[in-house]
Amino acid sequence: MPRKAATKATPQAAPPLDGCSVATSGRFPGTSQSALQSRLTSLGATIASSVTANTTHLIATEKDYESNSTKTKAAAAHNVPVVTIEWLDECESKGSKVDETQYLLSSGTAPAQKNGSNKRPASTTPPAPSQEKKPKIKEDAKVGDGQNAKSKTIAISIDEHCPLANYQVYIDSNGTIYDASLNQTNAGANNSKLYKCQLLVNGTDYKTWTRWGRVGERGQSAVLGSGSLLEAMREFEKKFKDKSGLKWENRSAEPKSGKYAYVERSYNPDSDDEDEDDTGAGADDEKKDVKPAECTLDKPTQDLMKLIFNQDYFDATMSALNYDANKLPLGKLSKGTIARGFQALKELSVILDNTDAASRAEVERLSNHYFSVIPHAFGRNRPPVIRDNDALKKEIELLESLSDMKETAAMLKSQLKDDSGIHKLDKQFQGLGMEEMTPLDHKSQEFVEIDQYLNCSKGKTHAVNYQVQDIFRIERKGEFERFDKSKFSKISSNRRLLWHGSRVTNFGGILSQGLRIAPPEAPVSGYMFGKGIYLADMSSKSANYCASYNSGGTALLLLCEAELGNPMHQLTHASYTAGEDAVKNGMYSTWGMGSTGPSKWKDASCINPALKGCTMPDVSTPAGKTNVSGATLLYNEYIAYDVAQVKLRYLLRVRM
């Protein structure tokens, strides 16, 4: 279902880690780098991809600290305190920034001051060894989270058509990766073009490799430079500026009209690869006789993991949404690129909403800009122009799906590098970080009640049939505590058990991160009642968002406990400002009133005593006409504007 957009009723105090710039290093048991970074940003911290003088904290594992990794060396050089993950746990628990002293891995390091404004005493981490000096060409401006290497030994793929054997992509002393992918889409000229530029090194020989042409074709290419770093660097930066209109150090700036757009890639999307031992032939020989790990999960949970992490379904989804995964694979897709895509759509939505300003040329220009930022696969077909809100919503769905699928791809990448001897399905499940996932007995009252709610809340206009395969009682770690600590636990209560549907490929992100709300960059016009979490009392309304045809006919549906507050903001027609309007009137949710809805409601404790006080439709009485005057919706929609209002309760695996 359309998701997303937190609006706040009143100005709030700064979050606990506001002003902190935090780097992470090492592998943390039971969680992923992306999940850890999400926790940090939710507390107001910014994520540092490398440790610099502006970094206020480094969270590391003891193993990583003792091995004197690249980041711990940098922490010593910049007097940055190195703390354990328990420091973050305590900050979350207390809702405030706690003293670092008890959590230091580096004995003698004093706590960092907020905003890094005060000087930090040095830690006892051994100093980083001096590095061989390279000619300093230029110092990079701040760029996205993925363009800097986290390890000097990281291997960046050379363009597949490059003939230079034994060369590697050059990484300078600051960790900047000299690898540029540029894209330009022009619907009017019926083309989508790429320009690839890499600075390559082999010993003391430096070359700049360029390739250009239509997306999906080899195109033309050239090798530039006579062998010196200075000349190769000059060629690289010249070509980049010629094509993009931007200096290399300003590559993350807004793309220039009529020029190629820089596509930021993430080279380390989920885990730190630094100081990892390469698995060579000897290690492979040792593993040949190792007994395969046994899966400890029950059969229903095994089947669920196989569904959520099915690579074929990822490919089908990206193909259905016309995303070019060959040009920018999920594992290389950066959050910055997704944000730029949302921003491009937001600018386009402003033009579409203002018909007087919607000149054909401007709409085409902004469409070209979006398709240049987010690679699409159109083949020889003419790239489309996003001329209306339906086309806009399809692209919003793509970006939302990419955000969720990126999380799942990161878990898969982490799993592939984990040689702990744990079965891959166990590792996938652990990566979700769930507090509970219990498959229900098909004969239990809990299962039967939910099955009836599903099958008896189908809209007459929805041609859908269900075959329930499994129902899981679920709980996301920290979600209940988040609600209890929020203002929503104290308001006039109106808790309801409602449906939410999404693509199977989105559930790695949904279960690990929770249902989220669209970012500020997203256009509000893509959401009927503003940015929020969209829920329904008719299962088939939510099922329409599952796109089961891209996942082998199987869908996943959520039952969510949502605190909507009493009263709700009631609307019979679309309003992009519904969220702001609700807050202005002291309300926390919107009820999009449909012409058909439940005839009766009952207490959800009939499913489980833990749901006492939460209501759900009484499907023993069929849904009927609501007699709402002026209703333009067929069915009800409920929109929560804060993630803390919603708790995931049940997950259904259904054949459709």
**What residues are labeled active site?**
637
Contact 475, 434 (CB under 8 A): yes
Chain centre to alpha carbon of residue 150: 20
Contact 320, 550 (CB under 8 A): yes
246 secondary structure, DSSP code? S
Contact 371, 392 (CB under 8 A): no
* Residue 169 parent element (H or E): strand 168-169
Quote the strand ranges of 36-139, DSSP E.
46-47, 57-60, 82-83
Report the alpha-carbon angle 508-512-515, nearest 5.
Answer: 90
Q: How far apart are the first and last CA of the chain?
A: 16
The SS3 of residue 352 is helix
* Residue 302 parent element (H or E): helix 299-308
Omega into 567 within 30° of 0, i.e. cis? Answer: yes
Contact 348, 523 (CB under 8 A): yes
Measured distance CA(95)–CA(334) in Å, rounded = 29
Measured distance CA(197)–CA(221) in Å, rounded = 10
If phi > 0 it is left, if psi is from -120 to 50 it is alpha, else beta; for residue 19 that is left
Q: Which of 519, 532, 629 is nearest to 575 (CA)?
A: 532
Q: Which of 333, 347, 299, 281 is nearest to 521 (CA)?
A: 347
Residue 45 neighbours by CB distance under 10 Å:
24
Contact 336, 145 (CB under 8 A): yes
**φ and ψ at residue 471, rounded to 5 degrees:** -125, 130
CA distances from 230 to 205, 236, 357 (A): 11, 10, 48
